[in-house]
């Protein structure tokens, strides 16, 4: 614990004074209202474009996010590195715990955030890194529902009128590509690409996606004709000439605007979750792709692919912040997913075969 308080940070940044002349934007997801006040007109335009499908009429906000520009705190902050997830390297986040609050620093960009019960402030080079501001806004939604006993799954999801299908797997395992292929099925709607909130509602299982658009890899783009045009022709040709293994591991992300690609009315963040695929297939396998039912309570390896740490921004209802040593509560996930049919996808990576299985499951063959 540092001697710096939340109020010290607020007094130094003066967020309400800095953003008082900005036009507020209101976003509503699952009944939760976030007000965004942004100093930069350029960044505000990007936020309006990004969140267009959840913008709502002015209302009393549950949380206000103040987005400032370059600002300096007139005292030294001792940050401690936040441990990365297994398999990931390099410094990403650093934290400084305050009394009932936390400062989070994005090490690579220099953007900083104050997270506290009454304050959510982003400052630094925010205009240069809009995606980090977008993530911070979405974090407020995730935090609220996790405090209300929803669990956060590392999953993409689509829905139809009667079904909700979530898709998890190892990073780069194909969940975004699978989800976008399933969007070709008539009557499907996009729920989420990477974070799915879930709770057991007794007679059914509620699911809620956050307004985070798919950030897709080049391999997803070049293997889906509908996505042509997201990147320029020259770069797309370069990607098509890459070896499959090189393309698979290429880290190069692009935002996909669902309405632009699939048309209006194809997003619904609310869903009743009925089925859950866990991609446990392999590019090295020669076995045919198979989708088989499993009991999640008997497969901790599959559960680990579904669970997602709340991360450095999460503060529990008792005021205690999540740490990089806090253990995940597997029982809460098993309870939340009780009644959902879990399927393991094994064998070789075959998106055509998985599309056929999805079309059959969702009950609307094209």
pLDDT at 366: 40
Tell me what pLDDT residue 90 has: 66
**What's the Rg (C-alpha) of the chain?**
21
Clarify whether residues 27 and 108 are in a common domain.
yes
Quick count: other Cβ atoms within 10 Å of Cβ 322?
18
Instruction: Identify whether the C-beta of residue 156 lies closer than 8 Å to the C-beta of residue 194.
Output: yes
| pLDDT value, residue 365 | 44
211/312 same-domain check: yes
Let me know whether 332 and 208 are in one domain.
yes
Same domain, 171 and 125: no
Structural domain for 108, as ranges: 6-147
Q: Is residue 207 part of a domain?
A: yes
Q: Using the structure block, give the residue that is written with the tokens 């390099």.
A: 90
89 with 140, same domain: the answer is: yes
Considering the domain architecture, whether residues 99 and 162 belong to the same structural domain is answered as: no
CB 165, CB 361: distance < 8 Å? yes
DSSP per-residue letters across 286-332 = -SPPEEEEE-GGG-HHHHHHHB----TT-B-TTSPBP-TTPPP-HHH
26, part of any domain: yes
* 306 in a structural domain: yes
Do residue 167 and residue 123 come from a single domain?
no
pLDDT for the residue 37: 96
**Strand-by-strand arrangement of the 151-153 sheet:** 151-153, 196-200, 205-209, 270-272
pLDDT at 86: 67
Whether residues 56 and 18 fall in one domain: yes
The neighbouring-strand residues paired with 151 are 198
Query: Are 349 and 329 in a shared domain?
Result: yes
Q: What is the pLDDT of residues 69-113, one digit of tens each?
A: 888 888 888 999 998 776 666 678 999 999 889 999 999 999 999
Q: Specify whether 162 is located in the same domain as 310.
A: yes
Q: Which two tokens stand for residue 207?
A: 């699911």
Q: What's the farthest any 2 CA atoms get from each other in the chain? A: 62
Do 101 and 173 belong to one domain? no
As a whole number of angstroms, the distance between CA 254 and CA 214 comes to: 8
Q: Give a yes or no: residue 246 inside a domain.
A: no
As a whole number of angstroms, the distance between CA 192 and CA 212 comes to 7
Number of domains the chain is built from = 2
Mean pLDDT in consecutive groups of 10 residues from the start of the chain, 366 residues: 84 91 94 96 95 96 95 88 76 90 95 96 96 97 97 96 93 84 94 96 93 84 79 78 74 86 94 97 92 95 94 94 94 96 95 94 67
Q: Is residue 20 part of a domain?
A: yes
The per-residue pLDDT for 53 is 94
Q: 204 and 296 share a domain?
A: yes
What is the pLDDT at residue 20? 87
pLDDT on residue 207 = 98
Residue 245 located in a structural domain: no
């Amino acid at each position: 614990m540092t001697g710096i308080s939340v109020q010290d940070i607020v007094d130094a940044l003066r967020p309400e004074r800095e953003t008082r002349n900005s036009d507020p934007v209101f976003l509503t997801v699952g009944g939760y209202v976030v007000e965004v006040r942004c100093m930069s007109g350029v960044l505000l335009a990007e936020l309006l474009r990004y969140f267009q499908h959840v913008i709502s009429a002015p209302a009393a906000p549950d949380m206000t996010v103040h987005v400032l520009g370059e600002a300096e705190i007139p005292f030294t902050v001792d940050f401690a590195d936040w441990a990365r997830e297994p398999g990931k390297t390099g410094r990403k986040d650093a934290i400084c715990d305050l009394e009932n609050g936390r400062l989070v620093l994005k090490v690579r960009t220099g953007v900083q955030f104050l997270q506290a019960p009454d304050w959510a402030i982003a400052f630094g080079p925010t205009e240069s890194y809009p995606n980090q501001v977008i993530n911070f806004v979405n974090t407020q939604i995730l935090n609220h529902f996790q405090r209300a006993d929803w669990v956060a799954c590392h999953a993409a999801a689509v829905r139809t009128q009667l079904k909700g299908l979530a898709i998890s797997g190892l990073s780069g395992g194909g969940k975004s590509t699978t989800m976008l292929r399933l969007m070709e099925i008539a009557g499907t709607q996009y729920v989420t690409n990477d974070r799915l909130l879930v709770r057991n509602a007794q007679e059914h299982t509620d699911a809620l996606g956050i307004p985070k658009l798919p950030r897709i890899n080049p391999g997803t783009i070049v293997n889906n004709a509908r996505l042509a045009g997201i990147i320029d022709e020259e770069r797309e040709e370069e990607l098509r000439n890459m070896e499959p293994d090189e393309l698979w591991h290429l880290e190069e992300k692009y935002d996909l605007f669902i309405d632009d690609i699939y048309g209006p009315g194809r997003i619904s963040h609310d869903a009743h979750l009925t089925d859950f695929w866990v991609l446990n297939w392999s590019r090295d396998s020669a076995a045919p792709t198979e989708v088989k039912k499993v009991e999640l309570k008997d497969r901790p390896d599959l559960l680990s692919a579904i669970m997602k740490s709340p991360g450095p921004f999460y503060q529990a209802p008792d005021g205690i912040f999540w740490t990089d040593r806090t253990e995940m509560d597997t029982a809460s996930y098993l309870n939340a997913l009780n009644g959902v049919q879990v399927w393991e996808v094994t064998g070789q990576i075959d998106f055509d075969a998985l599309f056929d299985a999805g079309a059959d499951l969702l009950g609307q063959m094209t």
